[in-house]
Amino acid sequence: MATRVAAERQGIQSIEVGFRLLRTLVATNRPMMLRDIAAGAGMPAAKAHRYLVSFMRIGLVEQDAATGRYDLGAYALDLGLSSLGRLDPVRLAGPVLDELCENLQETVALSVWGNYGATIVRIIDAGGPVTITLRAGTVLPLVNSATGRAFAAFYRGPYLKKLLDAELRETAEAAKVSVTTARRQLEKVLMEIRERGISRATGSLTPGINGFSAPVYDHTGSMVAAITSLGPVGEFNVEWDSPAAKAMQEAAAALSKRLGYGSITEPDSPDTPSRLRTKGS
């Protein structure tokens, strides 16, 4: 029984060998000559050709009749799009949030854009002496929360401007300044956030609580979520170059990569085959 299980786990070596050719095509991101693909996969050209013929029969690879170069085929694109369509940022964020909470020893959360704005969908409490009152389902303001500012800086959606304008009017009224002044003040904050790639807030939403929030992107380059960390003033360092800021950016980058961000060359790149460009580009 053990021998049979071990044999099953060994898999089919020829499939694993053949996929070295596909990895070479993916890594190079352009049509290639047979000799170059074979060299990249570390096998003789004759052997590589046999694999490529089989891959062409099932649509994983195609060959340009004029140049003889090989490239990924239509079925490879179908596989990629199907895989991307199954990626759920909320589900995939679990391990990332757990690790981040353990590393920082602070409360961390995941937020997405909902019907009413930036909404917490998952939160992990570090269990420290200071209780964070935020809960899943909480909608965060765009102007004075780290999470809201991340969405205001990086998210693109049809209702964001409307919500932001309403908040700015309320903010201006409370501060007894003009809406134009409030907008200019916020734009200055957002400009710095865009330069840093991460947002922060210092006690402006919840007294005594600081926060960082980093954007998460999907395979289209669109922001789909924000990872936020929260901690008490005096203990939670909100300097831009603090260990917490670095950890936040690394966590957001890890989740973005898992969602396919950076896996497809930007549409403006001349090396990107048109069939691999993002829909709508």
Residue-by-residue DSSP string for the chain: -HHHHHHHHH--HHHHHHHHHHHHHHHHTS-B-HHHHHHHHTS-HHHHHHHHHHHHHTTSEEE-TTT--EEE-HHHHHHHHHHHHT--HHHHHHHHHHHHHHHH-SEEEEEEEETTEEEEEEEE----SSPP---TTPEEPTTTSHHHHHHHHH---TTHHHHHHHHHHHHHHHHTS-HHHHHHHHHHHHHHHHHHTSEEEESSSSTTEEEEEEEEE-TTS-EEEEEEEEEETTTS---TTSHHHHHHHHHHHHHHHHTTTTSS--TT-TTS-GGGSPTT-
% residues pLDDT > 90 (the chain): 44
Which pLDDT tens digit goes with each residue over 218-252? 988 999 999 999 877 767 778 898 998 999 999 99
Across 52-66, 126-140, 147-161, 168-182, least confident range: 126-140
Q: Are strands 209-217 and 223-232 parallel, antiparallel or unpaired?
A: antiparallel
Closest CA to 104 of 87, 128, 120, 82: 128
Residue 55 in this model has a pLDDT that exceeds 90: yes
Torsion angle of alpha carbons 84, 90, 95, 96, nearest 10°?
A: 90
Domains, the chain, in order of start with CATH, read 2-74 (1.10.10.10), 89-258 (3.30.450.40)
User: What pLDDT, on a 0 to 100 scale, did the predictor assign at position 204?
Assistant: 56
Across the range 174-180, mean pLDDT stands at 90
Across the range 18-28, mean pLDDT stands at 88
User: Within 10 Å of residue 196's Cβ, how many Cβ atoms?
Assistant: 15
Q: Are 146 and 201 in contact (CB under 8 A)?
A: yes
Average pLDDT, the chain: 82
Structure tokens at 69: 């170069």
Residue 134 in this model has a pLDDT that exceeds 80: no
Residue 103 in this model has a pLDDT that exceeds 50: yes
What's the alpha-carbon Rg for the chain, to the nearest Å?
Answer: 24
Residues 6+ apart with CB under 8 A from 278: 219, 220, 221, 264, 267
User: What pLDDT, on a 0 to 100 scale, did the predictor assign at position 203?
Assistant: 65
User: What pLDDT, on a 0 to 100 scale, did the predictor assign at position 277?
Assistant: 35
Which pLDDT tens digit goes with each residue over 193-205? 999 999 998 865 5
User: Within 10 Å of residue 61's Cβ, how many Cβ atoms?
Assistant: 22
Give dist(CA 161, CA 178) in Å, integer.
18
User: What pLDDT, on a 0 to 100 scale, did the predictor assign at position 10?
Assistant: 65
pTM of structure: 0.66
Which pLDDT tens digit goes with each residue over 249-263? 999 999 999 888 886
Residue 46 in this model has a pLDDT that exceeds 90: yes
